[in-house]
Amino acid sequence: MSMLLENLSRKMKEIDFAMLATHSGGGAIGSRLISNNREVDYDGSAWFFTEETTLMVSDFKADPAVNLSYQGKSGLFSRRPFFLAVQGTAMLIRDKDQFETHWTIGLEKWWPQGPQMPGLVLLKVIGERAHYWDGEEEGELLMDGAH
């Protein structure tokens, strides 16, 4: 993993939620708040749980191109803002072993039955390009998309 990706991963751990944008029917762009799991080290792929029946899942099936947007602070005690936009491709995972791998305490708040809940799916967003703004520093990171 590159030093830049490691640095971005550290900053992402301080962010509670992200916005996930999809292409909805008729060409509209839909954005949804989604939990950014702080216990996960970002390696170019982001993982989220959702339910099979959501409009978001329908959007992925029609067009897997997505964008994740994050907003936080540059550092733990910094007042400088940190923004990150990740363009990527969404994949739906239905493998229960993967559910167990990516399940963390706290998700029971949304899915009390745990990773075995009927209709639960795992969303993997494979990052392809990241744009970041960190105080006065900004840049772009191209990712290999093989995570």
pLDDT tens-digit series, residues 118-141? 999 999 999 999 999 987 788 998
Residues facing residue 33 across a β-bridge? 19
pTM, rounded to two decimals: 0.85
90 backbone φψ class: left, alpha, beta (φ>0; ψ -120 to 50): beta
Q: How many domains does the chain have?
A: 1
Q: Tell me whether residue 28 is in a domain.
A: yes
CATH code assigned at 106: 2.30.110.10
The contacts found for 22-26 with CB under 8 angstroms, 24 or more apart, are 22/56, 22/59, 22/60, 22/63, 22/66, 22/90, 23/59, 23/62, 23/63, 23/65, 24/55, 24/59, 25/59, 25/62
Name the residue range of residue 42's domain.
3-142
User: What are the tens digits of pLDDT across the range 44-90?
Assistant: 888 999 999 999 999 988 899 999 999 987 766 667 888 999 999 99
147 inside domain: no
